[in-house]
Amino acid sequence: MAIDTSIKVLVVDDFATMRRIVKDVLKQLGFDNIVEAGDGSAALDVLKKEKVDLIVSDWNMPKMTGLELLKAVRADDNLKGIPFVMVTAEGQKDNVIEAVKVGVSNYIVKPFTPGTFGEKLEKVLG
């Protein structure tokens, strides 16, 4: 991929299994600087402490959803420029429109292949 894979990526998903799958795909694509969080609230804690270059988040999570996290990131002057990719089973039209309105950088519908994942990231980071 013609993108910088040394950047720090934050993977947010309430399912540890899904975090593992997303991390495996990211590693296959060359990313190895990866941090993770189990929901939106935990993700904000990470973002307060660490400089993150890309957020890859699930939508449907307890405590704070991916959409709420996206809104919080876009409302924060220190964080609003971070590319935000939603990786979710919620591929319905209204969900996509809602995420785009709030400022999502790209949208990956599960299940995905590494190829699809890489193409979407290239559009965001390339």
Partner 1 sequence: MDVQFINPFMAATVHVLKTIARTDVSAGKPYIKKDNIARGDVSAVIGLTGNVSGTIAVSFTEKSILAIVSSMFGEKVSDLNDEIGDAVGEIANMISGQARQALEKMGRPLQAAIPTVITGKGHRITHITSEPIIAIPFLMENDGFTIEVCFE
Is position 18 an interface residue for partner 1 (rule: CB under 8 A)? yes
**78 to each of 44, 54, 73, 75, how far by Cα in Å?**
12, 14, 8, 9
Half-sphere exposure at residue 53, Cβ-oriented, CA atoms within 13 angstroms:
14
SS3 106: strand
Q: Which is nearer to partner 1, 31 or 59 (CB)?
A: 59
CA–CA gap between residue 46 and residue 94 (Å, rounded): 29
Residue 79: count other Cβ atoms within 10 Å of its Cβ.
17
Side chain identity at residue 49, one-letter code = K
In this chain, which stretch among 38-46, 85-93, 98-106, 117-125 interacts with partner 1, using CB under 8 A?
A: 85-93
Q: How many residues bind partner 1 (CB under 8 A)?
A: 23
CB of 18 to partner 1, least distance (A): 5
CB of 82 to partner 1, least distance (A): 25
Q: Which residue, chain included where needed, has tokens 């993150």?
A: 52
Write out the binding residues for partner 1, residues 86-125 only, by CB under 8 A: 88-94, 109-113
Could you give the string, one character per residue 42-61, with x where binding to partner 1 holds by CB under 8 A and - elsewhere?
Answer: ------------------xx
The binding site for partner 1 (CB under 8 A) comprises: 14-18, 20-21, 24, 60-62, 88-94, 109-113
